Structure 1
């Protein structure tokens, strides 16, 4: 469609472009162009610790080997995303849809490069606008009940990453409960097999402040996932309040009775929200 903003899909920690496959298919069926990109330290931009592939497997070595992604920061991830968005949109603004920790990068992108962003759609995502790093929100009362920390196979401070051991099948049931509670079992199993081992701790630890003059003038949509065991619904609603504190217009809120991964469990419902956000963004272009 003429004058329609391209849609750029940004995954969260441990995931990659693959997680958006069903959403891209649904968007295409509605005549909407979308591209998924890998964040710095993820997907085709990721490197696993050598201990992940060592045989026999050494759990102690895996728990202590420094991450190849330890140097990745929010700033670096934002620069890479900006390059991708600029290329995809050919200099024109894109609608950026971000999941989980990808929301922190999308927020920084919208503040630093607002000319590249037609709007931001958060999907159960971090949206740290108030000068705190994303990590500061993890232990807030609104996030009580999150299961992510229980799945870590190493101390993030020691290795520089939030590390999963997806090769340990005894951990899979908990990973499903954390991320994929309403996802078909065979799809959840495939997703676990595709997760990166390391999510760069530095991406979540860098503080960031968004401003009303830049980030705040863009339209925002937030998809709240009510059954989320990774980023709890109360924390998602806190992010909405913080966005609205600096935004020119109130955040459009969509609520799904979904786990942390509606792109796998409810792609059509998620695309409904994206389609409406794109229409709103196009009206402001």
Structure 2
């Protein structure tokens, strides 16, 4: 990969740009510039519901308060990400790496501004290219065994968000098993403390349309996480198969024996996969 080509790192639900720090360091060590961004409705762009901080904690209010990020959609988040990419790359193409629900937004961006996306690397990410919204895949047989839905503390259709109470100490072990089952305890605890409460429901609920001429012209790679309890590997491989129906070139697949969060548990291996994907698949700007 050309060392001058920037990499833009996109996180998933409940996370923020901070989760990519270990990978940013590893990419820098390999001479690869990278910038992690906050998606609309997340990180510095993600206000929390008031009920999250109320003391004493009121579970009923937490389950019913409308989300302050309920207006965020896949399209609005993609428009924000497109501007972030334009800023980072100075108007030139970048390599986009997207994790989990961030894959929905990155998919929309590759259709919206393919001229700014030199390549797209999914990391155990939703890639809804069939016309169905990402939320549809939650009901598919390939999603059997996922552990996320058990954590939801509110009806997403009521509050406008996938809401989880990450501050509940009794839930800590289950959260770790779901997202970070191969991450050391110290790092997992620090990460859980940083997680946002709400993932905007408008992102997985919006159907996306992609075309061979735009999205399909972007080279794709997919990092499959083999021990993932959020997006089972069987569903990840379904996404790969569906991407290949609209992509001009086959999706390059790398499998890591890891949880949903290789940016924490295997940052070196993930950095290597990103660099390799760039070398194999990045098109000229």
Decide: shared fold, TM above 0.5.
Answer: yes
Partner in structure 2 of residue 272 of structure 1: 272
In structure 1, distance between residues paired with 2:44 and 2:56: 26
C-alpha deviation, 1:5, in angstroms: 1.8
Contact 2:19–2:264 (8 Å) recurs in 1 = yes
Q: Secondary structure at the match of 1:280?
A: helix
| Contiguous gaps of at least 5 residues in structure 2 | none
Q: Secondary structure at the match of 1:127?
A: coil
Contact 1:95–1:281 (8 Å) recurs in 2 = no
Contact 2:107–2:127 (8 Å) recurs in 1 = yes
Contact 1:228–1:258 (8 Å) recurs in 2 = yes
In structure 2, distance between residues paired with 1:76 and 1:139: 25
Partner in structure 2 of residue 10 of structure 1: 10
The answer to whether residue 98 in structure 2 is matched with residue 86 in structure 1 is no
In structure 1, distance between residues paired with 2:7 and 2:169: 35
Partner in structure 2 of residue 99 of structure 1: 99
Task: Point out 4+ residue stretches in structure 1 off by more than 6 angstroms.
Answer: none
Contact 1:125–1:231 (8 Å) recurs in 2 = yes
Residues 116-135 of structure 1, C-alpha deviations (whole Å, 9 max, x = no match): 10000000000000111000
Contact 1:3–1:282 (8 Å) recurs in 2 = no
Taking only aligned residues, the RMSD between alpha carbons, in angstroms, comes to: 1.1
Contact 1:231–1:260 (8 Å) recurs in 2 = yes
Q: How does 1:1-285 map to 2 (within 5 A)?
A: 4-282=4-282, 284-285=284-285
Q: 1:72 to 1:157 in 2, by over 3 A?
A: same
Q: 1:232 to 1:282 in 2, by over 3 A?
A: closer
In structure 1, distance between residues paired with 2:95 and 2:261: 20
Contact 1:104–1:126 (8 Å) recurs in 2 = yes
Residues 195-234 of structure 1, C-alpha deviations (whole Å, 9 max, x = no match): 0000000111000021111111111010000100000100
Contact 2:13–2:101 (8 Å) recurs in 1 = yes
Q: 1:159 to 1:171 in 2, by over 3 A?
A: same
Contact 2:7–2:33 (8 Å) recurs in 1 = yes
Give the TM-score, by structure 1 length. 0.98
Q: 1:224 to 1:147 in 2, by over 3 A?
A: same
In structure 2, distance between residues paired with 1:273 and 1:70: 34
Q: Secondary structure at the match of 2:125?
A: coil
How many residue pairs get aligned? The number is 285
| Contiguous gaps of at least 5 residues in structure 1 | none
C-alpha deviation, 1:282, in angstroms: 4.4
Contact 2:23–2:267 (8 Å) recurs in 1 = yes
Contact 1:4–1:282 (8 Å) recurs in 2 = no
Q: Secondary structure at the match of 1:242?
A: helix
Q: Secondary structure at the match of 1:124?
A: strand
Q: 1:283 to 1:167 in 2, by over 3 A?
A: closer
In structure 2, distance between residues paired with 1:79 and 1:129: 18
In structure 2, distance between residues paired with 1:283 and 1:247: 13
In structure 2, distance between residues paired with 1:246 and 1:75: 20
In structure 2, distance between residues paired with 1:5 and 1:216: 21
Contact 2:9–2:37 (8 Å) recurs in 1 = yes
Give the TM-score, by structure 2 length. 0.98
Q: Secondary structure at the match of 2:108?
A: helix
